[in-house]
Structure 1
Amino acid sequence: MFDRDPEGTMSDFPYADRFPVHRTLPEQGRPREDLLAELTAMAAEEDAVWESGKISGTMYCGDHEHYAYLTEAFAKFAHVNALQRDMCPSQTKFEGEIIAMVLDLMHAEAVTGTRPGGLVTSGGTGSILHAILAYREYAAATRGISAAAGRLPNLVKPETAHPAFDKACHLFGIENRTVPVDPATTLVDPAVVAAAIDDNTIAIVGSAGNYPYGTIDPIAELGRIALDRGAGLHVDGCLGGFILPFGEELGYPVPAFDFRVPGVTSISADTHKYGYAFKGSSVVVFSDKAIRNAQYFHQVGWSGGKYMSPGMDGSRSGGLLAATWASMVHLGRDGYRAYARDIFATAEAMMATVRSHPELRIMGAPTFCFSFTSDAFDIYHVADFMKPRGWRFNGQQYPNAIHLAVTRPQTKACVLEAFSADLAEAVAYAREQQAAGRLAHSGAIYGGVIGGLTSEVEAVMTMIMDGMLDTQQSLPPARA
């Protein structure tokens, strides 16, 4: 039987042995102070997991003072619905300025002949979904590409591009043309992309950088192909959008990936990653508002009044807009640049540590986010050894590799020292396990390293999802 959590670090019924389990809505509410005490205890324990600095990605800021500041900004508008702009003009200010600042960061001034625009979304997946929906609708309106017209739209993307693109194709009835990447560089070959394009291609995709390896696809070459073939080019900067521009300013070899590149028509950038805002915020910007506007939704005949929506969401918390705006304006370019300096330096030092072991190999030529593998042993032996010491890497596959997105919690000197010492012991352990013919337990699942995926993968993944929805989000058995 598949063991989702063999080391017992994840409980199906967390806190059931310590705090009351609510099986029905209480007849009478519990005191606020009791509930806040429970929340405080849970938060403190969960914060301790990432405060060690041994967690890949996840907590990109890791600064409790900054979180407290954002919480204060959020609280002032948490009850506000961003949909009600007539009642809450603050949301127009916040959202407009967030979009304007991202357009500026992505060099929208380089765009000529059109007017750029953008949307604030609920996260990277939301930004990608909105972009691909916009391309589908725009291609239908301007090029006659639609299933109804007998022309099934298609999207061409590298294998390393985020699965949100696959989800978009699945949801919106778009043919997904995924092309391989070079196994040595981890980058997509523009010639392979060009060969996959036809008259029904609505857009192609490049990453800056991609999640698995942190490497940046050849955006300039992809831009030339997009222009030549009349397709859009979406650059997924969800991971790198708020750190690569500052790495470039610091002198790191970051190639242009934004609107300075002819052919780039949209970019996603997550404010809730290296933008250091709260989770649930991202921005997608377009070189031409006409593309963005294509995915607007209108229902003018509804009995409840004329309905219109600029994106897929309806009601949204004004608190997230306020906190995102507050983070960006408080940090400014200088603040982001200072944090980027620390992160790039830490990533370089960590990668140097990896390279000091002949058995280990960095995948491609990454910057702030990197992945490494081994040709001498199964790299998951390394993950197995380091997990009990608090390290939480993300597992990759094809080939097996482990990934670390360096964030602010890793920039403490003690974390680098621990990484160096623990990795040295992990390599020795991996050699021993490989020589003994033992199998590693860890495996590759987005957002973590979970073991046991050796066969019937789809059935196992379904079981994991069932566990999340039907077990972990259910209740423990009632006590007699």
Structure 2
Amino acid sequence: MMPPCDSPHSLFFLATMDVGRATRAYEALKSLLFLYVVSRYALKSQRHLRARGVLASVREFYRWITQQVLLLVLRLPKMKAKVALEMGQAKLDIENRLVPKGPDVTRHLSLPKEGKSLEWILAEMDKMDDEMSHATNWRQGKISGAVYHGGEDLERVIVAAYAKYAVSNPLHPDVFPAVRKMEAEIVAQTLQLYNGPNGAGTMTSGGTESIIMSVKTHRDWARAVKGIAEPEMIIPSSAHAAFDKGAAYLKIKVHTIPVDSYTRKVDIKAVKRAINANTIMLVGSTVNFPDGNQDDIEALGKLAVKYKLGLHVDSCLGSFIIPYLEKTGLSEGSNGKYKLYPCDFRVPGVTAISCDTHKYGFSPKGTSVIMYRDAELRRHQYYVSPDWAGGVYASPSLSGSRPGALLAGTWAAMQYMGSDGYLESCRSIVTCARTIADRIVSSIPELYILGSPPASLIAFGSKHPKVDVLEVGDKMSQRGWHLNALSNPPAVHIACTRLTVGKEEEFIADLKDSIREAKLQPSGQGTMVRVYGLGKSSAVGPAMVTQLASAYVDAMYKA
């Protein structure tokens, strides 16, 4: 029998019941929170395993454990001192290559009291060039990419356009209406080349910014349209590092999918397995930077349509080569090799394409175009601050103020070259690249070509047990060639330009000599072997390479 409601015993009884209910509710809430956290991380783990596969995940975990053990060993006083000594020497070597030394070097560490004349400035610039006389002379044409030179006549055209608009800023289109018009026309003309006449786009400072802008655009689109708060993207292992850079800046998880070792195309089945509810975009290249091959854009497009995702086609390196390959007749390849497959806005599912005008468009460095299938998607790229104390602030890309002179130089270069000029440029450059590739296949049995590159870049690896391809690359450097080293697999690539055309036989002759020398006298001391070989030498190799790369960037700013 319960006590009367107004008795002290009843009040104690009711209070006890309330505490019990609260305790049970609290315990239930804790259990629900625990289940939520467990289920959330279980779902993330399941998606991670699905994207990478069990074996790859186990390898990643094993590599991480090995790395931690080695890092502990390297903290031992003796090992720490040894590593510090070797890294210090490597960093000093980097600095010596980049920073001029000696009593004759004049350093300008503070402003002069009085302004200098134009004659003095030009003479001092010449002196700076002479101080680094060991640097690669790009005009000799023994260089991979880096300088996309359209000829001395075009150089004069660009300089004249730059001089005319040297102080212009597209941030103020009412002050510089001609620059605004030129930028809009550059975007429209590039869209036409990539078969996107109803598309939209903007200019950027280069391929990296174009890619980061596309990542940002697809992230914001997915958040607004699909409610995705924890975005993920899927890229091939051959994709440009700018995608990882953009993901790091924008807090997006990246699933990196391996490419086929023979075709060098991304594994489409693995891409499909990696897609989940948080996926915002897929990525494919035409062509990729490491080995110049093309992903299966049509297959990626089908996945993008089916799962309602974005699909970015990176054609920064394809530039003004890819749009003209079809017109030259070279897109069909030869002997079953070098075929170019559909990759522009004609492919359903493609939502964005990046194209560097400052590569094979021969425009001034610092210009690129990011294109979208429609203007609605492009709006997610913009940044708008309506409540800023300085007034309404709106910009299309990362930069606020931009150099209008570069836009004018790009517009001038495109008008000067014209469609016929770009067509002939494409024909000669691609023919050059394929000549080198064919000569390697037919006359250098120690090497093989990676995949079937359809455009201007080819990469070669070694199939001979006594030939280290990175050693070969170092020997080529001694002969004046400035080439690019690759990893996974170790290889060397050359991006052919107008400067390379006519040097095919010289390249092949130097390559044969370099292979012969690498067999007989491998030094293991060259830049490619030491830096790129280090990355694969142990579990901590990438950390060591990171230190060296950081030292390289530091040295760039040493006056």
With the length of structure 2 as denominator, give the TM-score of the two structures.
0.78
Quote the Cα distance in structure 2 between the aligned partners of 1:7 and 1:286: 44
Q: Could you tell me which residue of structure 2 aligns to residue 464 of structure 1?
A: 548
After superposition, the Cα gap between the structure-2 partners of 1:192 and 1:442, relative to the gap in structure 1 and judged at 3 Å, is: same
Max radius of gyration: which structure? 2
Quote the Cα distance in structure 2 between the aligned partners of 1:142 and 1:461: 41
Are positions 1:363 and 2:450 aligned together? yes
Given that 2:534 and 2:542 are in contact with CA atoms closer than 8 Å, whether structure 1 keeps it comes out as no
Give, as a single letter, the amino acid of the residue that structure 2 aligns with 1:58: A
Quote the Cα distance in structure 1 between the aligned partners of 2:95 and 2:483: 15
Q: Could you tell me which residue of structure 2 aligns to residue 290 of structure 1?
A: 376
1:12, CA displacement in angstroms? 4.1
Quote the Cα distance in structure 2 between the aligned partners of 1:205 and 1:223: 10
Q: Could you tell me which residue of structure 1 aligns to residue 17 of structure 2?
A: none
Given that 1:275 and 1:328 are in contact with CA atoms closer than 8 Å, whether structure 2 keeps it comes out as yes
After superposition, the Cα gap between the structure-2 partners of 1:342 and 1:7, relative to the gap in structure 1 and judged at 3 Å, is: farther
Are positions 1:418 and 2:506 aligned together? yes
Residues 220-245 of structure 1: CA deviation (Å, up to 9, x unaligned): 11101110111010000000031012
Are positions 1:93 and 2:178 aligned together? no
1:27, CA displacement in angstroms? 2.1
After superposition, the Cα gap between the structure-2 partners of 1:197 and 1:263, relative to the gap in structure 1 and judged at 3 Å, is: same
Residues 389-443 of structure 1: CA deviation (Å, up to 9, x unaligned): 101110001111000000110102xx22211211111121222246xxx646343
Question: RMSD in angstroms over aligned alpha carbons?
Answer: 2.3
Q: Could you tell me which residue of structure 2 aligns to residue 126 of structure 1?
A: 209
1:29, CA displacement in angstroms? 2.4
Given that 1:139 and 1:145 are in contact with CA atoms closer than 8 Å, whether structure 2 keeps it comes out as yes
Are positions 1:184 and 2:262 aligned together? yes
Are positions 1:229 and 2:307 aligned together? yes
What aligned pairs does 1:182-261 form with structure 2 within 5 A after superposition?
182-252=260-330, 253=332, 254-261=340-347
Given that 1:135 and 1:203 are in contact with CA atoms closer than 8 Å, whether structure 2 keeps it comes out as yes
What aligned pairs does 1:139-154 form with structure 2 within 5 A after superposition?
139-146=222-229, 152-154=230-232
Quote the Cα distance in structure 1 between the aligned partners of 2:255 and 2:395: 30
Quote the Cα distance in structure 2 between the aligned partners of 1:444 and 1:139: 43
Quote the Cα distance in structure 1 between the aligned partners of 2:364 and 2:135: 15
1:466, CA displacement in angstroms? 4.2
After superposition, the Cα gap between the structure-2 partners of 1:48 and 1:427, relative to the gap in structure 1 and judged at 3 Å, is: closer
Given that 1:443 and 1:452 are in contact with CA atoms closer than 8 Å, whether structure 2 keeps it comes out as no
Structure 1 range deviating more: 45-54 or 9-18 = 9-18
After superposition, the Cα gap between the structure-2 partners of 1:467 and 1:180, relative to the gap in structure 1 and judged at 3 Å, is: same
Identity %: 39
Given that 1:121 and 1:283 are in contact with CA atoms closer than 8 Å, whether structure 2 keeps it comes out as yes
Structure 1 range deviating more: 463-472 or 246-255 = 463-472
Quote the Cα distance in structure 2 between the aligned partners of 1:155 and 1:451: 29
> SS where residue 154 of structure 2 aligns?
helix
Quote the Cα distance in structure 2 between the aligned partners of 1:357 and 1:290: 52
After superposition, the Cα gap between the structure-2 partners of 1:9 and 1:319, relative to the gap in structure 1 and judged at 3 Å, is: same
1:41, CA displacement in angstroms? 4.6
Unaligned regions of 5+ residues in structure 1, if any? 110-114, 147-151, 476-480
Quote the Cα distance in structure 1 between the aligned partners of 2:486 and 2:550: 23
Residues 189-228 of structure 1: CA deviation (Å, up to 9, x unaligned): 2111111111111110000000011011110111011101
Q: 2:558 aligns with which of 451, 460, 474?
A: 474
1:20, CA displacement in angstroms? 2.5
After superposition, the Cα gap between the structure-2 partners of 1:317 and 1:474, relative to the gap in structure 1 and judged at 3 Å, is: same
Q: Could you tell me which residue of structure 2 aligns to residue 264 of structure 1?
A: 350
Give, as a single letter, the amino acid of the residue that structure 2 aligns with 1:125: T
> SS where residue 108 of structure 1 aligns?
coil
Residues 176-198 of structure 1: CA deviation (Å, up to 9, x unaligned): 11110001111112111111111
Residues 305-354 of structure 1: CA deviation (Å, up to 9, x unaligned): 11111211100011000000111111111000111111111111111221
Quote the Cα distance in structure 2 between the aligned partners of 1:65 and 1:41: 25
Are positions 1:379 and 2:462 aligned together? no
Aligned pairs, number = 457
Residues 436-475 of structure 1: CA deviation (Å, up to 9, x unaligned): xx64634389xxx867554533443443344344444223
Quote the Cα distance in structure 1 between the aligned partners of 2:244 and 2:294: 19
Quote the Cα distance in structure 1 between the aligned partners of 2:173 and 2:101: 40
Are positions 1:441 and 2:531 aligned together? no
Given that 1:119 and 1:285 are in contact with CA atoms closer than 8 Å, whether structure 2 keeps it comes out as yes
Quote the Cα distance in structure 1 between the aligned partners of 2:95 and 2:478: 10
1:300, CA displacement in angstroms? 1.4
1:84, CA displacement in angstroms? 0.6
1:19, CA displacement in angstroms? 4.8
